[in-house]
A and B are shown apart, each in its own frame.
Chain A
Amino acid sequence: MDREIQFNLNGNETTVVIKDHWTLLHLLREELGLLGTKEGCGSGECGACTVMVDDLAVNACLYLAVEVDSKKVVTIEGLASADGELHPVQKAFVENGGIQCGFCSPGMIMSATALLKENATPEEDDIKHAIAGNICRCTGYVQIIDSIRKAARAEEGDTVRVVAWQDD
């Protein structure tokens, strides 16, 4: 069945006509052309498709598009500011070698961003707990954890930008 839904996508009010059986991942990639969110396993095992719905990290491959009606969705494309300046978590990944092949990076960064919204000063165990559902097959976990820890520290001294981003 076709139906119209309205939701906030990366800060923009968006109205689209969808089919009931579309996943959020299908809507983002195939219909809206937002290719930053990746499809890995399609069954919630790998976390490559992680996005935030109402500030919570979810697997877009197991989330029906119809269920984002009236909600707020943030994808990897929505993190950088309008002038192209990267979000502190993205910067930290770039600066600390948190990216190798890059396929898991959008999902990792979304999981990390959701964690930092909830807990601004995570311990290493909190970070591992938060990204346990994200697989990096380059196995660069040490640098990824390091990046998230450093992003947390950057955000502490840089709350203005983060607050501005949270309120958009």
Chain B
Amino acid sequence: MKPFTYLTPHTLDEAVSLYESHEGRAAYIAGGTDVLIKIKEEKIEPDYLISLAHIPVSEGVRFNEDTRALHISAFTTHRTLELSPLIRRDYPILHDAVKNIGSVQIRNTATIGGNLANAVPSADGAIPLITMDAVAHIYGTKGERTVDLIHFFLGPGQTVLEKGEILTEIVVPPAPARTGSAYIKFGRRKAMELPLLGVGMLLSLDADMTTCVKVRIGLGVAAPTPIRAYNAERFLKGREVTDATLAEAGQIAADEARVRDSIRGVAWYRRELVGVLVKRMGALCRKRITDEKSIS
């Protein structure tokens, strides 16, 4: 590996100013599982690596009782998210996704912020978060700003992060009562696999337990960035959720997906999968709502 100097700032301000003073020659590193591979493969050649691992920010997840929002530090490892009882119980879509990212070894070091900032079209971490209307908190020389996560991604490897900016936190707003959510990563190997397709869905039902009052459908590897299937969402909202309407929503989502051929799969197959998996995730959301109601 090409030599570099490793810098360990202890505040966000220090990190940002180190980046500025080494402009063009520095890269941020958190868990390192993506950055170190890029350096090994000589895709990037930074002279300085600025570690974000030593900044004493609130690591982990925190539920704000007043706003009922979930705060996830960007420096939280996937393993911490996977093992969080709060996430498993109340945010099953996120649990579904993080437990199959990389491997145990990768999840013990890789951070959710790194997964998002890396912005690969297949980022499993991104889909559940855009499906839950998450907001990204970003820190830089001009202070803090927030961006809806759905607008965070600009293209493969490209985000709205400007030079030196750091993704610090992801905030998930509260969902209505009677909400279920689910994510499926469709791939071939259990670990270290980038999905052929990722589908996340969030569904809220009316008190009648059949009418859809809110729905979000997030798709990964269905376009150059994570996307939402807006047409399918518009179709389903206000309708009765049945196997037939879920199948139709799946068809609409398949039509609006911008899938393409790649080494992992061909476009027509991905399009078929969108239809099938949206229907399946809708059914799983509905089941999770029913199960939770029967418990409480």
* A-to-B contact residues, CB < 8 Å: 1, 19-21, 23, 42-45, 47, 50, 53, 56-59, 62-64, 66-67, 111, 114-115, 128-130, 132-134
Contacts and interface: CB of A to CB of B under 8 A. Distances in A.
B1 to A, nearest CB: 5
Contact of A129 (B2, B49, B104, B192): B104
A82 B36 CA distance: 35
B96 to A, nearest CB: 13
Interface stretch (B17-25, B105-113, B138-146, B153-161): B105-113
Given A62-B33, A111-B104, A42 B40 contact: yes
- Dominant secondary structure at the A interface: mixed
A58 B3 contact: no
A59 B106 contact: yes
A43 B190 CA distance: 17
Interface in B199-215: none
Nearest to B29: A64
Nearest to A46: B192
B185 interface: no
A20 B36 CA distance: 12
Contact of A63 (B51, B79, B102, B109): B109
Given A47-B105, A59-B33, A111-B104, 17 more contacts: A23-B1, A42-B40, A43-B40, A44-B37, A44-B102, A44-B103, A53-B108, A57-B104, A57-B108, A64-B32, A67-B51, A67-B53, A115-B104, A129-B99, A132-B192, A133-B105, A133-B192
Given A56-B79, A57-B105, A44 B192 contact: yes
- Dominant secondary structure at the B interface: loop
Nearest to B77: A56
Interface residues of B, number: 27
B36 A64 contact: yes
Contacts of B37: 43-44, 62
19 contacts: A21-B3, A21-B4, A23-B1, A43-B37, A44-B33, A44-B37, A45-B192, A47-B103, A56-B108, A57-B108, A58-B105, A59-B105, A62-B32, A66-B6, A111-B104, A128-B190, A130-B104, A132-B189, A132-B192
